[in-house]
Copies of this chain bind each other. A is one copy, B any other.
Amino acid sequence: MSDSTAGRRRQAARNDETILAAAREVFIADAKAPMAAVAERAGVGMSALYRRYTGKDDLLRTLCHDGLRLYIAEAERAAAEPDGWTAFAAFLGAVVDADVHSLTVHLAGTFRPTAEMYADAVVAGERTAALFDRVRGALREGVTVDDVSMLLEMCAAIRLPDPARTMELRRRYLALLLDGLRVDGLLPGPPPTGAEITRRWRQGAAEAGG
């Protein structure tokens, strides 16, 4: 084999990446897209998909897990930042930009999560909490780390046909939310509970709304 540029092996290796990237794009744009859409976007046939993944579940799980790992990686990268608020804001910005939410929460519930994925979800929660603790003093009373999940959800709801414009607007409203977090005064209603947040990771959570 060595390095023949157009070898079958080479093509296959390149397809590994191509397919994953195509799947990410397609499922970020529409969580319920058909497998054929992924094949078309990647410019490959169905066989190329099913040779690599045992089924749609498998592909979705992979994508979701990758998103989770990205989330953790961004949290750890941000943690290195000396200023707590900068770290917190940069982390949220990165997560919003990468549309991690569409890759994780919106895909979870579609398949049975791995034990490993569940463990990583726990880690993600811990990393978030660590960043959150560093800014707690700057935030208004009564705000909890579980509120952060909801803020991310809200940002993910901003969705326009143009991805670049979507990112721009999400940043705009993320800034608005972050400013809101530092205003004085109690917010109405109890914050979300941990159970309300993690429920999404259990299988069977029906998609609602469209």
Contacts and interface: CB of A to CB of B under 8 A. Distances in A.
Contacts of A158: 150, 153-154
Interface residues of A, number: 46
A181 interface: yes
Contacts of A159: 208-209
Given A29-B209, A208-B29, A210-B31, A172 B196 contact: no
A172 B188 contact: yes
Interface in A15-69: 29-32
Given A106-B210, A179-B180, A210-B30, A171 B154 contact: no
A149 to B, nearest CB: 11
Nearest to A158: B150
A82 interface: no
Interface string A146-160: 000011011111111
Contact of A209 (B30, B151, B165, B187): B30
Contacts of A172: 187-189, 191
A153 to B, nearest CB: 6
A29 B209 CA distance: 6
A73 interface: no
A88 to B, nearest CB: 16
A183 interface: yes
A111 to B, nearest CB: 14
What are the nearest 5 A-B pairs in CB distance?
A: A157-B157, A180-B180, A31-B210, A154-B154, A176-B180
